[in-house]
Amino acid sequence: MTTTLVSREIRLAARPVGEPGPEHFELASAPVPEPAEGQVVVRNTWMSVDPYMRGRMNDVPSYIPPFRLGEAMEGSAVGEVVASRSAEVPVGATVSHFLGWREYAVLDAAAATVVDAGRIPAQAYLGALGTTGLTAYVALTRTAPVREGDTVFVSAAGGAVGSVAGQLARRLGAVRVIGSAGGPAKTKRLVADFGYDAALDYRAGRLEEQLAEAAPEGVDVYLDSVGGDHLRAAIGAMRAGGRIAMVGAISGYNAETPAPGPDNLFEAAAKEVTLRGMLVSNWLDLFPEWIAKAAPWLADGTLRTEETVVDGIERAPEAFLGMMRGANTGKMLVRLAG
């Protein structure tokens, strides 16, 4: 680089107790260092905000280290390589990587994945072709595999994972697909755009009754991103030998004390239901398999996706907080540059 670049970034300013707010984030600027041998500089164009990031704001041991106070946060991003000291990742390449929450990232070329942004928009690699799409694929093919003739229930069905999962369940042979979302606008979209046969509005209450009405003969597979009352309702509706993929529990992420578990777990035992957790980070080797399937669907329009876009690094905290409150339909993204 011939001129010194300055990158704006979002840092964790304080660790929240309960629901986070704007005061827990800080916008700062930092010079962009010259890349070392084997490194690249990426001008980030899009970044992702995801529910798991809430857990990283707590200083507790987990499957992924917590964010450090006073340092730039991390997450998935895509961008253009603007400087390179690597023959494998040239200037001009579009790459995905894990140093989001900043306008420019300096990283080892080995940590950047060159993506094809020709027929597929680059930001798709943060959504349907990213870890959210992969989560739906792994959940419904490995963790709680869908079989021909199944009835499938998906919570948070209007979100990044759920909006893909409903369509994928249908492709895998499900005969009935039911989703839950918050509010009539979202539930309408589930049926109109995302392939669901029925949509439950959890904000209207009576979740268990709504599910019983939508699936009077029971549920075979449940993809759980919510926990709490959704997991309880799903256990009550499961058929014998049903499968539950536990990929998230957003209903409890802001809880100040541990949330109680479902009080009907013995029903799962009596029905011989499988409840299996899943961390998508343990399944990244399936990315090529998933992208090979999903990219043509995206290109021909048979996999329908939605994005909720917020512009500017300074609004990334706003996007994150909105996503945690369910303000998004489909994938919540922050556009950093055109």
The DSSP annotation for 325-337 comes to: TT--SBEEEEE--
Query: How many whole angstroms separate alpha carbon 238 and alpha carbon 229?
Result: 14
Kindly give the confidence (pLDDT) of every residue in the chain, 338 residues in length, as a single tens digit, with 9 standing for 90 and above. Answer: 546 899 999 999 999 999 999 999 999 999 999 999 999 999 999 999 999 999 999 999 999 999 999 999 999 999 999 999 999 999 999 999 999 999 999 999 999 999 999 889 999 999 999 999 999 999 999 999 999 999 999 999 999 999 999 999 999 999 999 999 999 999 999 999 999 999 999 999 999 999 999 999 999 999 999 999 999 999 999 999 999 999 999 888 888 787 778 999 999 999 999 999 999 999 999 999 999 999 999 999 999 999 999 999 999 999 999 999 999 999 999 999 76
pLDDT for the residue numbered 259: 76
Q: Where are the alpha helices (DSSP H) in 19-108?
A: 53-56
- Contact, 159 vs 167, CB < 8 A? no
Q: Where are the beta strands (DSSP E) in 99-237?
A: 104-108, 113-114, 151-154, 176-181, 198-201, 219-224
Segment holding 11, helix H or strand E: strand 6-12
Query: How many whole angstroms separate alpha carbon 96 and alpha carbon 40?
Result: 12
- Contact, 248 vs 223, CB < 8 A? no
- Contact, 170 vs 212, CB < 8 A? no
Segment holding 213, helix H or strand E: helix 207-214
Give first-to-last CA distance, the chain, whole Å.
21
pLDDT for the residue numbered 93: 97
- Contact, 278 vs 246, CB < 8 A? yes
pLDDT for the residue numbered 25: 98
Q: Where are the beta strands (DSSP E) in 112-237?
A: 113-114, 151-154, 176-181, 198-201, 219-224
pLDDT for the residue numbered 338: 65
Residue whose pair of structure tokens reads 């011939």 in the numeric block: 2
- Contact, 212 vs 238, CB < 8 A? no
Grouping H, G, I as helix, E, B as strand and the rest as coil, residue 187 is helix
pLDDT for the residue numbered 255: 81
Gyration radius (Cα) of the chain, Å: 20
Q: Helix 207-214 to helix 228-237 angle, to the nearest 10 degrees?
A: 40
Domains of the chain are 6-127+305-335 (3.90.180.10), 132-281 (3.40.50.720)
**Token output for 231:** 């997991």
- pTM equals 0.93
